[in-house]
Amino acid sequence: MAGKQGSQAVSRWVWVSLAALVLLALAVIFVLPGVVERYELPLVKRPEPAATEVVAGSSANSGRNSGGNVSPFEEAQQARQRRAAQDILASLLERQSELEAFAVEEWAPDAFEYALAQAEEGDVFYRQGAFEQAETLYQQADDGLAALQSARDNEYQSAMARGETAMTDGDAEAATAAFELASRIQPSSQAAADALDRARVLEDVLALLVEGQALAESGQLESARDRYQKALGLDAAHPQAQSLASDIEQQIIDRNFSTAMSAGFTSLQAGDTDAAISAFENALAIKPGSDQAEAAIQQARDQVEMSEIARLREQAEDHEENERWQEAVEAYQQALNLDANLVFAQEGKDYSQRRLQLDQLMQANLDDPLRLSDQAVYQEAQNLLGVATGLVADLREDGVHPGDRLLSQVDELAVVLEKVVIPKNITLNSDGMTSVTLYRVAELGTFEQTTVSLTPGRYVAVGTRSGYRDVREEFVVGLDDAPAAVSIRCHDQIASAE
């Protein structure tokens, strides 16, 4: 029984709900159109047709309205005009919101207010039901706002230009105001934001520049550079800060360059070419590619070279004077290594080489006079002595001392050449059974003792005997001495084969 009562209660509530939904649907169909008709943009209640104020140019509408009921066609026309006005009004409101977001009241207040006034005048017509006139005014207002939208970029550029001019003039307040306006006109502009940041530190930048200029005028270039660098740290794009920083950097370079060059020339004048070159190279490092520094380095190196050449020339001449011809040749060659066109070195080397050759040949004959026993060698020595004697005469004629070594060699060789042709008697002893031959002299045969006349030289005597080993005796006949006797005997018997 209870279940039946619960079922009836649920059914009753279902029927109530369905009835409510039906009533709501009827209200949407029949009541809502009337509300929409009486309340549309702008959202104010429409005046009744009987209370509508007649305006100029609406006599036709007034006539129709005074006739009583509005025809369906007229009602449709009014609805179309109303919708057209509403569409334009929606565009106008969107433009208004956008322009207000971009601070239009700061850069075009009059034009903006005029456009809004036109829209408000259009509202008056709209409320009176004069939708066509309202549409016209809304359109004019919308066109005005559209023109302002188009002008926004120009206004932005103008504000930026005013800001830059103020920055150049050092007017931080005006620059800040201009860039703030530009930032509001173009909120997304990074350029405007950066410019505004620069404007806000302009006074600090200018103060640092003034300090830097004062320091620069007093010669404190590094301190001035520090101030300019700090200014650039605040505003890296500030043209005056950039210019002053560049100028002070160049002044420091010029000063350091001049100091290095002066030090180099001072050292060069003092004869310290190594220090001079070091200073000039430092100047070149300060100003890479400097013609002045490179010329100074070359000048110093030339001076070093000339000093070295002068030293080598003096050294070579000293060697010549002391008849050290090998050392003289080497000194002249070192000078030529520095400058192959040095005439004194070319001539000095040639002369020293010829004197060295003469000295070596003379000394070779004196060191081994026995070699003169060869007739060809003897003749060469005679010719050499003639050359040396002629050189001595020429030098004396030119007022130049020939040198003690050369004079000594000439005298000694003349004596040697005289002695080398004087024969000496040499006694040869044998056993009468050995056959003796004196090479390059004669076959002496067998003897027990004989005497031969020999000029100084090296000799070889060979003895032979049947059944005995050959013997060989070498002896020397000197210029001033000779062996008392030379014995040549074959005494080693060869064993006979059985």
Higher pLDDT, 47 or 407: 407
Mean pLDDT of 80-100: 90
- State the pLDDT at residue 48: 41
Tell whether 370 and 344 lie within a shared domain: yes
Range of the domain at 353: 319-421
- State the pLDDT at residue 53: 38
Mean pLDDT of 486-494: 93
Q: How far is CA 12 from the centre of its chain?
A: 98
Tell whether 409 and 466 lie within a shared domain: no
Q: Could you say which of 200, 235, 267 is where a domain stops?
A: 200
Number of domains composing the chain: 3
Mean pLDDT of 257-282: 93
The length of the chain in residues reads: 498
28 within some domain? no
Tell whether 187 and 165 lie within a shared domain: yes
Tell whether 434 and 407 lie within a shared domain: no
Tell whether 409 and 438 lie within a shared domain: no
- State the pLDDT at residue 482: 81
2 within some domain? no
Residue 459 pLDDT > 60 = yes
Tell whether 365 and 471 lie within a shared domain: no
Q: Could you say which of 386, 421, 456 is where a domain stops?
A: 421
Mean pLDDT of 15-38: 48
Q: Could you say which of 364, 398, 421 is where a domain stops?
A: 421
138 within some domain? yes
The rounded mean pLDDT for the chain is 86
Which pLDDT band, with edges at 50, 70 and 90, does 21 fall under? low
Residue 44 pLDDT > 80 = no
- State the pLDDT at residue 71: 81
Q: What is the pLDDT of residues 118-165, one digit of tens each?
A: 999 999 999 998 889 999 999 999 999 999 999 999 999 999 999 999
475 within some domain? yes
Q: What is the pLDDT of residues 281-297, one digit of tens each?
A: 999 999 999 999 999 99
Which pLDDT band, with edges at 50, 70 and 90, does 20 fall under? low
Mean pLDDT of 52-75: 50
Which pLDDT band, with edges at 50, 70 and 90, does 18 fall under? low
Residue 30 pLDDT > 50 = no
Mean pLDDT of 473-483: 89
Mean pLDDT of 267-276: 90
Tell whether 459 and 402 lie within a shared domain: no
- State the pLDDT at residue 37: 42
380 within some domain? yes
Cis peptide leading into residue 288 (ω within 30°): no
Q: What is the pLDDT of residues 358-390, one digit of tens each?
A: 999 999 999 999 899 889 999 999 999 999 999
Mean pLDDT of 87-116: 91
Which pLDDT band, with edges at 50, 70 and 90, does 32 fall under? very low
Which pLDDT band, with edges at 50, 70 and 90, does 347 fall under? very high
Mean pLDDT of 448-459: 93
Three-class SS string for the chain? Answer: CHHHHHHHHHHHHHHHHHHHHHHHHHHHHHCHHHHHHHEECCCEECCCHHHCCCCCCCHHHHHHHHCCCCCHHHHHHHHHHHHHHHHHHHHHHHHHHHHHHCCHHHHCHHHHHHHHHHHHHHHHHHHCCCHHHHHHHHHHHHHHHHHHHHHHHHHHHHHHHHHHHHHHHCCHHHHHHHHHHHHHHCCCCHHHHHHHHHHHCHHHHHHHHHHHHHHHHCCCHHHHHHHHHHHHHHCCCCHHHHHHHHHHHHHHHHHHHHHHHHHHHHHHHCCCHHHHHHHHHHHHHHCCCCHHHHHHHHHHHHHHHHHHHHHHHHHHHHHHHCCCHHHHHHHHHHHHHHCCCCHHHHHHHHHHHHHHHHHHHHHHHHHCHHHHHCHHHHHHHHHHHHHHHHHHHHHHHCCCCCCHHHHHHHHHHHHHHHHCCCCEEEEEECCCCCEEEECCCEEEEECCEEEEEECCEEEEEEEECCCECCEEEEEEECCCCCCCEEECCCCCECCCCC
Tell whether 115 and 191 lie within a shared domain: yes
Q: What is the pLDDT of residues 400-435, one digit of tens each?
A: 999 999 999 999 999 999 999 999 999 999 999 999
Residue 9 pLDDT > 80 = no
